[in-house]
Copies of this chain bind each other. A is one copy, B any other.
């Protein structure tokens, strides 16, 4: 982003915030990390998030290509989530934010 009159529609920071903004997304990404996680696992790791929000945010992250979702055709349902290559690019951001939050 050039600091001179760049329209907000072209701002890469805005673009990133569109993808990962909000209360829960970065924490979801962090909890998945390099693992393959199931829905119920995430629920246990993040007891404070509502079902509705977890599902909503997982879905959004899948749509943005940050997460990959693998569904198994079975009952009870089985779904697995993992970071895509694109998702992994967010890890350094998360690490820096974790560090900043721990120190400040």
Q: Measuring CB to CB, which residues of chain A are less than 8 angstroms from any residue of chain B?
A: 1, 3-5, 7-8, 11-17, 19, 21, 23, 26-27, 30-31, 33, 45, 47-48, 65, 86, 89-90, 92-94, 96-104
- Provide the residues of chain B in CB contact with A33, threshold 8 Å: 3
- Give Cα distance in the complex from A98 to B13, angstroms: 5
Residues of chain B within 8 A of A8, CB atoms compared: 48
Interface centre among A19, A101, A103 (most CB of B within 10 A): A101
Q: How many copies does the complex hold?
A: 2
Q: Contact between A98 and B27 (Cβ–Cβ < 8 Å)?
A: no
A17 to B22, CA, bound (A): 9
- Within the complex, the shortest CB–CB distance from A65 to chain B, in Å, comes to 8
Q: Would you mind naming 21 contact pairs between A and B with Cβ atoms under 8 Å apart?
A: A3-B30, A4-B45, A5-B45, A7-B48, A8-B48, A11-B27, A12-B101, A12-B102, A13-B26, A13-B30, A13-B94, A15-B102, A16-B97, A16-B100, A16-B101, A21-B21, A65-B104, A89-B104, A92-B96, A93-B93, A93-B100
